Amino acid sequence: MPRKAVGKKTKIKVDRAQAAEKVRRILPVLKRIYPQAKTALRFKNPLELLIATILSAQCTDVRVNMVTKEVFKKYKSVQDWAKADLKEIESDIKSTGFYRNKAISIKGVCTEVIERFGGKVPDTMDELVQFPGVGRKTANVVLGNAFGKPAIACDTHVIRLSRRLRLSGNSDAVKLEFDLAEIVPEKDWTLFSHLLILHGRNVCKARKPDCENCRIDKFCPAANEPALW
């Protein structure tokens, strides 16, 4: 019998206590499977990660890393980005897609970093989300990976796996972030995001999850009830 995927509008009921217990049990398993879990984006400082994360919207991390390998040699400081010609930035990042909006965001962010923060990327959610083109997901990536602060970044993989595992019924990234914050130990917030992303890329794929080779399938209603995922 073919499986019927749960759409983003499908209502899912979640028991918070059961979800928290499920997290407690799957965390050590995922940690063993992915012992080196971390962001795939390459960066040397908070500014580079912020720019790389902006570029990653609707683009693969592999492509972003190919682009940033070159642009980070050309634009070495926040001042370089801020004073660069917009068309030149567009040309340099074109292959990441949506390059016009991304170029505007990057130039705008770097200008504000200089004018409002003395050239240093701020390390709080409230300040980061004030930048053009920066939402909570981007801010969480930067906070968790560049500053080492607990932060849950909810991308498409985190949303998909959280719903399949019944950790949350929300498909909205912000609402899901707050749901997960209540059931995942704070010290594991950043790592948990990476673990779900890796598992989503390698095993629990969107169209054809490899449930037979999934080591957390026994905790997954979607794996045990085919009509649910």
Q: What is the pLDDT of residues 5-49, one digit of tens each?
A: 555 556 788 999 999 999 999 999 999 999 999 999 999 999 999
Given this model, what pLDDT does residue 229 score? Answer: 47
- CATH 1.10.340.30 location in the chain: 46-145
The residue-averaged pLDDT of 110-122 equals 98
Given this model, what pLDDT does residue 75 score? Answer: 98
- CATH 1.10.1670.10 location in the chain: 16-38+152-228
Given this model, what pLDDT does residue 2 score? Answer: 39
- Helical ranges in the chain per DSSP H: 16-33, 46-55, 61-74, 78-83, 86-93, 99-117, 125-128, 136-145, 156-164, 173-183, 189-202, 221-224
Taking domain 16-38+152-228, whether its CATH number is 1.10.1670.10 is answered by: yes
Given this model, what pLDDT does residue 3 score? Answer: 44
Which superfamily does 46-145 belong to?
Answer: Hypothetical protein; domain 2 (1.10.340.30)
| Residues recognised as catalytic | 137, 155
Given this model, what pLDDT does residue 224 score? Answer: 75
